[in-house]
Amino acid sequence: MSASDPPRNGAPLQIDVERREHASVVRICGAATMDVSSEIGRRLVEVAVAKPHCIVVDLSALEFIDSNGLGGLVAAYLKQRRQGGSLVLVGPTAAIHDVLDVTRLNQLLSIYPDLSAALAATRGA
């Protein structure tokens, strides 16, 4: 962080999509703050339109997420389920994991420690 940056803004939100085996891997990095968090739902639903067998959402570099960003995860999960696919989460930090626990989204969304575990668990599922 440079001296001119506002404190605690976090890294800019970045969302990358990669095709891996049977899944589309969506890596969400940085801070999903209130002014940009709707991008999570928009991009995930965009990925779901292609009807991948599974969407694996890699949260290992996600620093912050608000309720709107959580809503994007849920919206994409529901779209995947409606079309017979799945959406799982990978590697949230302790802070993000706590948000998922508090909202009980950990009961709706499967969470895996790393990408290989998620890919193995969803292969053929």
Partner 1 sequence: MSRSSSIEPDVPLQEMVVESTLSAAKKPEAAILSEVERCGYSEDDIFAIKLSLEEAMTNAVRHGNRCDASKHVTIRYAVTPERTIIIVRDEGPGFCPDRVPDPTAPENIERPSGRGIMLIRAYMTHVEYSATGNEITMVKVNER
Q: Which residues bind partner 1 (CB under 8 A)?
A: 6-9, 33-35, 41, 64, 66-68, 70-72, 74-75, 78, 95, 99, 102-105, 107-108
Nearer to partner 1 (CB atom), residue 7 or residue 84? 7
Nearer to partner 1 (CB atom), residue 48 or residue 119? 48
Residue 14 CB, shortest distance to partner 1, in Å, is 18
Residue burial 55-79, b: 16+ Cβ < 10 Å; e: rest: bbbbbbebbbbbebbbebbbbbbeb
Cβ atoms of residues 52 and 78 within 8 Å:
no
Residue 19 CB, shortest distance to partner 1, in Å, is 26
Residue 124 CB, shortest distance to partner 1, in Å, is 25
Cα distance between residue 55 and residue 80, in whole Å: 8
Nearer to partner 1 (CB atom), residue 14 or residue 103? 103
Q: Which residues contact 78 (CB under 8 A, 6 or more apart)?
A: none
